[in-house]
Chains A and B, each alone.
Chain A
C-alpha cells in the first residue's frame, strides 16, 4: 500500500483555463480520502492527474515517495473505477477483470486465482461468462470494482462511481465500498459531488471549489468546524441556513431575529471587528420550545414528514427562507406562525464580506 502526496499542483489547459490551483494534499497509507465539491471545482481533474490521464502543469506528485509526474498510468500501480464503469464491451466479465493482469504478463494460474478471489469478494462469480451489456447497472459497477481490486494496486481511484446508480443501489454500493476498504486496507481516493457519500465513506474529506481546496478534514471536523461559508453550506443535509445579522451591543439582530451569543462567541465577534456578520444555523440546531432565549420568527410554508423527523420550509420576517428539522411527534400546519428557538452555542458566524485573496480564491471565513 502507499502514501500519495500532491505538492503545489496546478493544472492549466492549453486554452488558458486553470482548473486546479496550488493543490497540496498528503494522503496517508490505507487512508480513504474523498474529494468533494460542486461541478467544475477541479476534483475530477485532480484525480485524473493522480491517475496520469491528465498532465500536471506544475507541482509534484509522489506515490510512495516516488515522483510520478512523468510516469505512464500503467506504471503507477494504480487502479481506477470510472463513473460510466468503462467496461470493455467486447470482453466477458472474466476477461474484463483479467485484462490488467494479462497485460502485465501475470501467469495464467495466478490470473485465474485472483479473478476468482475478486469475484468472490464482490459476489459476481455467476456473472463471469457474461458480457457487460447483459448486466444491470449495479452488477456493472461491481465488475468495475472487481477489475480494480484484482490487481492489488497501491492506490485505488474512484471517479464518481455511484453517480449512475439509483438512490437505493447507491446506498448499498456505498456500504460495499466502505467494507471493501476495511477488507483491503488500501489507500483510496474517491471523487464525488455528493456530500452524503463524502461524509459516510471518507476518513478525511477534501472540499474543493473553483479549483481551490477549501478545507481538508475529517467528516465531523468539517461539520463542526467549517473554515468558511462554502464548506458550512456544502456539508450537511439539508444544508446550513445563512442569515445576515448585525452586531449591536451584546446582541445579534435582524428582522424577526434576536440572538444572544455566548460570551466566547461574543468575544470573538467583537475581536473580529466587523459589524456585518452572517449567522449560520444547521436545520437540526433549531428547536420548537416555549419562550426560547434565542429566537427567530417564521411562518411555515411546507411541511415534509419523513417519519423519523419532519422537515419544515419556513419564511422569515426578512422574507428569506430557512429549512429546519423537527421532532416527528410535534404537530405543524402550513401558514402557522412559529417562534423558533436557536441552539446558539452550535451556531456559526461568518464574515459577510467576501474576502478575495491574491489568487482569486473567494471565501467568507468563519469567525467562530
Chain B
C-alpha cells in the first residue's frame, strides 16, 4: 500500500517537474538556434548548435557592466534586508510590549499589499526624496520592500533561541548589542541564509522595480538590459533567450550552493525546540 502511494507521489512529482522545467527547456533550446530556425520550429532540437547568440548578447547586453550593476544592487539590498530584519526580528521576539506586537503586525500585514498598487506612488516619492536613478536608491527601496517577510521569518526563528543563552552571555560580560552580535546572530545564520537566498533570487531577477527606478542605461541591471531586446516593432527573441540563460546562471549557482539552508532555516524556525 505504502509503495503504491510512493509510486503515485513520484509520478505526480515527475509530471510537476516536467511542467516547471518545460519553459526552461525551450529557453535553453532556442538560445542555441538562429532566429529563422526558432520561428520555424520552436520546440524542435537545433539542427546546428550555435553560440553566436551568446557572443552577440554579451556584447549588446553590456554583460560585464550590467552584471556588476546587478551585483551591487543585490549585495546592497540583501545585506541591508538581512541586517535590519535580523535586528528588528530579534528585538520584536524578545520584547513583550504592546508596541512590539503592533510593529510586528504592521510588518506582516504589509506583505498583503500588492506591489502594483503602490508602485506609482513609490516612484513619485522616490523622485521627491532623490533616490531615483541610482543603484543605491534602488537598493534602499528593495530593503524597504523586502524587510517585511524577512522580519516575519527572523521573529519566528529568534523565539526558538533559548533565553538562557542570552542571560549567560549577559553574565559573561556582553551588553545588549554584543549579545546580538556574538550569540544571537550566529544562531540566526540558517534563517539569515534562507532570507538571503529568497531575496537574491527576487532582486537578481527583478524587472518591474528597476524599470521604474532606473532610467539611465548605464545603471541598468541584466534583466532590464534583456528587456531592451524587445522593441516596439521588433523583438530579438534568440538574443533575449541567451541573455536570460546568462542572467540566470549566477542566481542558479548561488541557489545550488545555499539551498540546503532554506530547508534548515524554515524548519528550525517552525518548531520551538
Chain A contact residues, CB within 8 Å of chain B: 51-53, 72-74, 78-80, 82-84, 86, 88-90, 99-100, 103-104, 147
Contacts and interface: CB of A to CB of B under 8 A. Distances in A.
Contacts of B164: 82-84, 86
Interface in B162-194: 162, 164-165, 167-175, 178, 182-183, 186-187, 189
Given A74-B175, A103-B178, A86 B168 contact: yes
Contact of B173 (A74, A82, A86, A90): A74
B162 to A, nearest CB: 7
B167 A103 contact: no
A52 B173 CA distance: 12
A105 to B, nearest CB: 9
The 4 A-B pairs at the shortest CB distance, nearest first, are namely A103-B173, A100-B172, A86-B164, A86-B168
A51 B186 contact: no
B187 A79 contact: no
B187 A73 contact: no
Nearest to B187: A90
Interface residues of B, number: 18
Contacts, number: 56
Nearest to B170: A73
B144 to A, nearest CB: 31
A100 to B, nearest CB: 4
B172 A99 contact: yes
B162 A84 contact: yes
A82 B168 CA distance: 8
B175 A86 contact: no
Nearest to A144: B168
B171 A90 contact: no
A88 B171 contact: no
Contact of B171 (A73, A84, A89): A73
A83 B187 CA distance: 20
Contacts of B168: 80, 82, 86, 88, 147
A79 B171 contact: yes
16 contacts: A53-B167, A73-B171, A74-B171, A74-B173, A80-B168, A82-B168, A83-B164, A84-B164, A86-B167, A88-B168, A89-B187, A90-B186, A99-B169, A103-B174, A104-B173, A147-B172
Given A88-B183, A100-B172, A103-B173, A82 B167 contact: yes
A74 B187 contact: no
A248 to B, nearest CB: 57
Interface in B126-168: 162, 164-165, 167-168
A147 B169 CA distance: 11
Contact of A100 (B173, B186, B187, B189): B173
Given A53-B167, A89-B187, A74 B172 contact: yes
Given A89-B187, A90-B187, A103-B178, A78 B173 contact: no
Interface string B213-251: 000000000000000000000000000000000000000
B165 A86 contact: yes
Contacts of A74: 170-175
Contacts of B165: 86, 88-89
Contacts of B174: 74, 103
Given A74-B175, A103-B178, A86 B170 contact: no
